[in-house]
Amino acid sequence: MSKDSLYSIATAAAGLGLAGLAYRYYDQSKNETGRDPWNVKKDPLEYDYIILGGGTAGCVLASRLAEDPAVSVLILEAGEDMDRSNWTQIPFGSTLLVGSKHDWQLKTVPQAHANGRVLVQTRGRMLGGCTNINGMQYTRGPPSDFDEWDKTFGNPGWSFEEVLPYFKKSECFHDPGLARGHPRGPQTARVHDPDFDTFEPKSHGTEGPWMVSYHHLFASSRAFLKASMEEGIPYTQDPNGSSMLGVFRMQTSMHPNATRSSASNAFLGPKNVPGGGSRGRIRVVPMAHVERILVSTFGGDGVKRATGAEFRHGKRNDLQTVRARREVLLCAGVFQSPALLLASGIGYPIHEAVPLLHSLPGVGKNMTDHVGVALAFEAAADCETLYTAFAPSNLGRLMYQYYRHGTGPLTSQVIEAGCFVRLEDIAPEFVAREKANGTWQERASGPEAPHIELLFPPCYVKVGEYGSVPDKAKNYYSIIAVLLNPASKGTTRVKVTEGRLSKDQKEGRRPRLTIEPEIDCNFLAEEFDLRVMREAVRFARRIGRRMQQDPLLAGVECFPGEAAVPSDDDEALDRFIRQECNTYYHSVGTCS
């Protein structure tokens, strides 16, 4: 979501006095056990396992490894520990972390096939990583994706049937129709919507640390669900169940008390960290910026093994070294992980001061990301969207709803509804034409896996400068069309800059370098992706026209507008897509 999109929402949130009031209900004066700053005099310099990055994967791995009472685990995390922060605890509050110091705010190189635009890649810079800043949408993916890993790519044990028990083991799904206790109020059940609060019990776990359920649903989000069904898209009872195809409510990573469930509070929370006692068996060091993985060569055959890491920490930014008795696990994310490998001499040469220890040309290649475009609609003035919900006249009610009952718009993750579809179901003529021309590419993993996703945010979403700026006095919602399996592949390389002479250089060590990810999403490099995106936009417009018939919404497309970009004009659609396409923050593959 762009900063323009959040203008009036941020103003309303500021009016809430969110931080000041929330301090009355959350104790922020104490750190979690074992998460205090690095102490060079007291902290051991050797651990069984060292995990580089305390994000989504790092937190889970640490918790699992520490189940063995004989091991010690160290997590080095570049960001702060934000688990007690209101901005991560309150679901809607995390939208205001985007663009803050808790966001890496990475930028791409100019995109050659997207009009040379530089795009922003939002990534969580805090313990828990992106699970503390994302939209909290709990989506596993189609079962055939996992079966493809198992059979097509030769990874035994990764079929969906074999992976599902682990999904269930980690999950605690809460039946949305049941009453649940709220720490600041009576035993209550949130407003239950029996039409859309559906799920398959057999597909979910109920005893794991990761909290999942349904929470807030805007009236406009509900209208999107109804319009999609009226357009012939079936309602899927559970997007994480037997079939994910169809229109659905987003299942949400949220505690029953209406606070965010993240990798850090789920797997490193005081009730979930194995060992207990002072520090337990997991040592978490926030604000620790790893500069290099240490690699040693063993035996006559030259086997290389990661044996430790160098990191900087504290006000003096001194260089610290820690060693691993067993393994170093790299969990720094899709952009920082390849950058750290290259900075450590693993991959290909990047600078004369970084000796190449192991040639691995594929580092940083094979990057894939979801690409999408947004259509914006002007809604009726009284249609329930983010703008009407967060109007100044509603602020007192919002605060009471959330702090007393754990309900209301502050529990919204913004995008509450979506739709997974296949191209043959929404554009059969397009598929037939592509097959006849010999240009069809089946990018999905199986016949039950989607090609396209629609997302419904009840607010104005726009990137770039295409079209007019909306009137802040009006009401809006958007439909985002997302390509799920693009043919275009990107890369993450590195940008290296030399700093001034440092203490390290005077001591004869390698010069101080700044090594940053250089990201090229390479969106729309393959023409097939562009042709599929045309059909996705046309489908989004069909849903938009259907929603326009609802008197509650009365929505009219205001950006780009069908007069400016007619649906039957391929060239106009291509220009719009290239100018407005954006990442939807699901990059993968750079260390494959």
Q: List, as residue ranges, the binding site for FAD.
A: 290
Binding residues: 290, 584
| Strands (DSSP E) found in 447-526 | 452-456, 475-483, 491-498, 513-520
Report CA-CA distances (Å) from 161 to 40, 139, 320.
Answer: 47, 17, 44
Cis check: omega of the bond before 560, within 30 degrees of 0:
yes
What's the N-to-C CA distance of the chain in angstroms? 29
Task: Return the SS3 of 428.
Answer: helix
Half-sphere exposure (Cβ direction) of 393: Cα atoms closer than 13 Å: 2
| DSSP result, 251-312 | PB-B-TTS-B--HHHHHSSTTTSTT-SSSTTEEEESS-EEEEEEEEEETTTTEEEEEEEEEE
Distance CA 87, CA 378 (A): 29
Question: For residue 246, what are the β-bridge partners?
Answer: 420
Residue 521 makes CB contacts below 8 A (sequence gap 6+) with: 108, 111, 119, 367, 369, 371, 490, 583, 587
Give the count of beta carbons closer than 10 Å to the beta carbon of residue 230.
13
DSSP code, position 460: -
Task: Return the SS3 of 182.
Answer: strand
Distance CA 445, CA 454 (A): 19
Report CA-CA distances (Å) from 237 to 167, 301, 382.
Answer: 18, 56, 30
Backbone phi, psi, residue 147, to 5°: -65, -35
- Yes or no: say if 133 and 103 are a contact pair by the CB < 8 Å rule: yes
Binding residues for substrate: 584
Give me the sign of the Cα torsion angle 132, 134, 140, 146: negative
Task: Return the SS3 of 141.
Answer: coil
